[in-house]
Amino acid sequence: MRRAKFCIQLFLLFLVVSFFPAQFSGQGTQTAPSPLWSANHPVDWWFAFKFNAETFPRPTTSVPACMFGGTPGGTRKYTRIGQSYVAASSEHAALAKGPGYLGDSLADPVGATFDEVYNGDLSYIVWNDQFYRSPVLACEGSSAVECGAKWGHSKGMLAWNDDGNGFILQVTTPSWPGAGNSANPRAGDGNSLGCVNDDDVDLSQGFFALKLTKDDLLKVLAALQTEGAVTDPSNPQIAKIGGPQEAKDAAAKLGSPNTTSTFTQATLSSGVQVIAKAGGLAAPPWQFVSAVLGKVPLRVATFWQGALIYSTPGRTKPDCWPTALQSLSPGTVQIVKTGIWDGTTIGLTGTSQKDASGNSLGANHAKIGVSTGSGSPLTIFADMNQDGAISPVGKLTCSSSQNARGGLFFVVENEDLHKSVTALLTGKYAPSKAPAATRTAGTTSAATH
């Protein structure tokens, strides 16, 4: 009788362990959050490129949904709205035209992924050097509307559960997102693409989301500290800090510029690399990335405007090359001016250009790079512009513009993704030297988008 009872107990225990394995494995019980391709469709990563309003405009009869707050076109009533997009994911790594309009519903990756946090119960922290005083941050003076030199130029959101599993959403949009959860909605501005007071949907923009383990989360938090992410962990509008104690401690350290001449490089569990540049590391941003990756030649599209850094060969180190990088050398860095999608030429600089027929090509604010050599097929998603100085000349110094800003770079090795992003960035590119007048006078003015 006892033996029969013992056998029954073992059988019942077997059933419990089979149906609830996480309870007995030492792992957390929560379902790990993931980037969403659409509602209830998790993926390991996705990338979306939103076209500018001049080349792929949203019809004037179609109004942004503003499902996270705001009014269509913002209070400035932008009439040119570009939310058409192409996207790729871990399930289909080649770029393809996406349905609907980006950030407009739960059927697109930005809308679905942001909704997971905004209308969920995850811990989060949001950073953006251009909140435009919504919320007000300590780094903004009485007249300033954004945080300047030495601070990180990155923008995005990190979200995680009680076990420390989560994802990062890197964006290039000034002023979006400006609140992380509906419990503390944004005051003073909108919180949806197409519904904020900045020109986010006029220019092209880039968005990258990546699934993170607890160890990955800690590495990304460390990278955010290195680059000097502009945030405030004590402000509930942009931060809700919970989960493992290590994550709480790391998040609490955010919100200060990093004026040291440092950088970090880490490989995440997905194989994706994250590189962080401190604001005190005064170096041309994309030459820095090329050097850290082992002299990899790059083709780069950014908000190229102001203190322009032109295409550079990889034969010598720039004059603006800090001591911390002396053991490294950059490869060739080529600046893309135009790209192409579905037979349409698009502008890939910070100023709208015209094609041979006089049509406007629009402007770009995404920051994307691809490797161009015979090595690994690398695609880089970032938040730094190729603006600053290679050498001191005129009014330019090695600390001009983005040379002295912090930033993040996520490096993905995937052949299909690389092939399709390379095709998107195919077009005219900048020469290796600025026009003579520019080289002589120099400039320190540069839009900080």
* 297 occurs within a structural domain: yes
Percent residues over pLDDT 90 in the chain? 79
**Lowest-confidence pick of 128-142, 257-271, 324-338:** 128-142
CA gap 151, 140 in Å, rounded: 11
Q: Residue 13 pLDDT more than 50?
A: no
Give the structural domain span for 423.
Answer: 36-441
Q: Where do the H-state alpha helices sit in 20-126?
A: 109-118
Instruction: State the residue for tokens 């006078």.
Output: 441
* 49 occurs within a structural domain: yes
Q: What share of the chain is helix, strand, coil (3-state, %, to 5)?
A: 20, 25, 60
Tell me the β-bridge partners of 448: none
Q: What's the total number of domains in the chain?
A: 1
**Amino acid at site 154:** S
* 17 occurs within a structural domain: no
CA 414 from chain center: how many Å? 18
For the question of whether the overall pTM of this predicted structure is more than 0.75, the answer is yes
Residue 80 has a pLDDT of: 81
CA gap 217, 234 in Å, rounded: 19
Backbone angles phi, psi at 424, to 5 degrees: -60, -35
Residue 316 has a pLDDT of: 80
Residue 448 has a pLDDT of: 58
Q: How confident is the model at residue 149 (pLDDT cuts 50, 70, 90)?
A: confident
Transcribe 130-194 into DSSP letters.
T-TTSS--TT--SS-SS--TTSB--EEEEEE-TTS-EEEEEE--TT----S-TTS--SSS--STT
* 154 occurs within a structural domain: yes
* 446 occurs within a structural domain: no
* 21 occurs within a structural domain: no
**Amino acid at site 228:** G
* 16 occurs within a structural domain: no
Q: Count Cα neighbours of 413 within 13 Å in the Cβ-side half-sphere.
A: 11
Q: What totals of helices (H) and strands (E) does the chain contain, helices first?
A: 7, 21
Contact 162, 243 (CB under 8 A): yes
* 276 occurs within a structural domain: yes
Q: Residue 27 pLDDT more than 80?
A: no
Q: Tens of pLDDT along 297-353?
A: 999 999 999 999 999 998 789 999 999 999 999 999 999 999 999 999 999 999 998
**Lowest-confidence pick of 114-118, 138-142, 261-265, 303-307:** 138-142
